Amino acid sequence: MDSKNFSLNNGIEIPSVATGTWKLEENQLEDIFEIAYDAGYRHIDAATIYKNEDAVGQALKALQLPRKEMFLTTKLWNTNQTFEDTLKAFEQSLQNLQTDYIDLYLIHWPGSYERILEVWRAMEYLYHEGRIRAIGVSNFNVHHIDLLLKHTSIKPTVNQVECHPYYQNAFLNEYCQKHEILLSAYAPLMSWNVKELIQNETLIDLGKKYQKTPAQIALRWMIQREIIVIPRSKNPKRIVENIRIFDFELSEEDMYRIRCENRGLRYFTEPDNMDFGFLEDTNGGSNGPKN
Ligand SMILES: NC(=O)c1ccc[n+]([C@@H]2O[C@H](COP(=O)([O-])OP(=O)(O)OC[C@H]3O[C@@H](n4cnc5c(N)ncnc54)[C@H](OP(=O)(O)O)[C@@H]3O)[C@@H](O)[C@H]2O)c1
């Protein structure tokens, strides 16, 4: 469990900790990426809807890395859920990110069954063309994944969903693991509710035991469940802190203590209730503050 990489079901290696980019300001990205790279991050999580995909590309370019040194995930937004629009949106993402391939391309939210299948056909096409190294989904419930497993030839490699100590997604994780699909935890620190996470008594107590912060305990707990984590921070100290989670291991008993903290409390929209009225400003599917 010391490895910082997980393996996807198509054999590709994926760094298990990614830098989140939602709500990061354009002028912050260069500094954040530089600190993140020095701290050991090799995975960036972007999305077209975050409206900073081009700034992510610019900041990445400023790092002057060989392209294959950074694993890039980005996501297809809901207004592009046709075959043709997927291809166009993909080209736009490449342009924004100043690259000629994406490591992991995700459907950001599921639409109707018809739309999911049509978009997946486009994703498979891009995958076969060698433009994407792995394809996956985000905010998919079991029934959405089932649809892909029954009707398509390539299964998703990743399902990126809300996951943290108060919303543990144990059943979905078990189901995905059974089908060799990795869960990726967004809002792993409970997003705008991070204060509640760092004030949780169990996480504080375990932090004292392992000489780690509550945030590190929460992230490590997900890594040990074989879940990718995507913490977002603009603070240099916390960026570093969030990846210093590979030098300790939570005992089974302590994993269980965190499991007992589950409250089934989600902060983002339940995917079956996502507003597909295609409003311009959907706040990325979050019910939280706009800024
Ligand atoms: N697929 C989807 O639909 C979806 C939805 C939401 C998010 N995402 C992805 O997942 C990423 C992470 O989720 P998120 O951005 O909502 O929230 P998050 O990473 O759970 O939490 C971010 C908040 O935690 C604070 N923080 C970070 N590290 C900390 C630490 N060690 N101690 C205390 N506070 C800390 C940050 O403040 P500071 O900046 O001040 O440190 C920020 O306020 C996003 O950026 C995005 O890439 C995907």
- The model's pLDDT over 99-144, given as tens digits with 9 standing for 90+, comes to 999 999 999 999 999 999 999 999 999 999 999 999 999 999 999 9
Q: DSSP for 255-276, please give it.
A: HHHHHTT------B--GGG---
The answer to whether 197 touches 165, Cβ cutoff 8 Å, is yes
Whether residue 197 lies inside any domain: the answer is no
Q: Quick one: pLDDT band at residue 274, thresholds 50, 70, 90?
A: confident
- pLDDT of 213-238, one tens digit each? 999 999 999 999 999 999 999 999 99
161: nearest Cα among 222, 221, 215, 72: 222
Quote the percentage of the chain above a pLDDT of 90.
Answer: 91
Looking up residue 182, the CATH number of its domain turns out to be 3.20.20.100
> For the residues 40-61, what does the mean pLDDT come to?
97
Asked if the model's pLDDT at residue 1 lies above 80, the reply is no
3 vs 227: which has the higher pLDDT = 227
Whether residue 174 lies inside any domain: the answer is yes
Domain, as residue range, for 98: 11-192+218-249+263-268
pTM above 0.75, yes or no: yes
How far apart, in whole angstroms, are the C-alpha atoms of residue 129 and residue 117?
A: 18
Does 257 sit in the ligand 1 pocket, CB within 6 Å?
no
Ligand 1 pocket: which of 189, 195, 229, 234 to mutate (most atoms <8 Å of CB)? 189
How far apart, in whole angstroms, are the C-alpha atoms of residue 204 and residue 278?
A: 41
> For the residues 46-61, what does the mean pLDDT come to?
97
129 CA distance to ligand 1 centroid (A)?
33
DSSP, collapsed to helix, strand or coil, labels residue 217 as: helix
> For the residues 15-41, what does the mean pLDDT come to?
97
Whether residue 170 lies inside any domain: the answer is yes
Element (H, E) at 17: none
Whether residue 285 lies inside any domain: the answer is no
217 vs 285: which has the higher pLDDT = 217
Please identify, by atom number, the ligand 1 atom nearest to the C-alpha of residue 186. 10
Does 238 sit in the ligand 1 pocket, CB within 6 Å?
yes
Q: In the prediction, which pLDDT does 288 show?
A: 65
222: nearest Cα among 39, 1, 54, 45: 1
Whether residue 126 lies inside any domain: the answer is yes
> For the residues 84-107, what does the mean pLDDT come to?
98
Q: Quick one: pLDDT band at residue 147, thresholds 50, 70, 90?
A: very high
62 CA distance to ligand 1 centroid (A)?
23
| Non-local CB neighbours of 202 within 8 Å, separated by 6+ positions | 257, 258, 260, 261
How far apart, in whole angstroms, are the C-alpha atoms of residue 156 and residue 10?
A: 9
Whether residue 201 lies inside any domain: the answer is no
Does 233 sit in the ligand 1 pocket, CB within 6 Å?
yes
Of 41, 50, 105, 186, the catalytic one is: 50
Over its C-alpha atoms, the chain yields an Rg (Å, rounded) of 18
Asked if the model's pLDDT at residue 2 lies above 50, the reply is no
Whether residue 211 lies inside any domain: the answer is no
Whether residue 284 lies inside any domain: the answer is no
Asked if the model's pLDDT at residue 281 lies above 70, the reply is no
Asked if the model's pLDDT at residue 277 lies above 80, the reply is no
- pLDDT of 154-212, one tens digit each? 999 999 999 999 999 999 999 999 999 999 999 999 999 999 999 999 999 999 999 99
- DSSP β-bridge partners for residue 183: 159
Provide the domain count of the chain. Answer: 1
Ligand 1 pocket: which of 229, 232, 241, 286 to mutate (most atoms <8 Å of CB)? 232
Tell me how long the chain is.
291
Does 212 sit in the ligand 1 pocket, CB within 6 Å?
no
Q: In the prediction, which pLDDT does 289 show?
A: 63
Does 235 sit in the ligand 1 pocket, CB within 6 Å?
yes
Chain mean pLDDT for the chain: 95
Q: Where are the alpha helices (DSSP H) in the chain?
A: 26-39, 53-63, 83-97, 113-128, 142-151, 170-178, 194-198, 201-210, 214-224, 236-241, 252-259
Would residue 50 show up in a list of annotated catalytic residues for this protein? yes
How far apart, in whole angstroms, are the C-alpha atoms of residue 119 and residue 130?
A: 17
How far apart, in whole angstroms, are the C-alpha atoms of residue 236 and residue 225?
A: 27
Does 215 sit in the ligand 1 pocket, CB within 6 Å?
yes
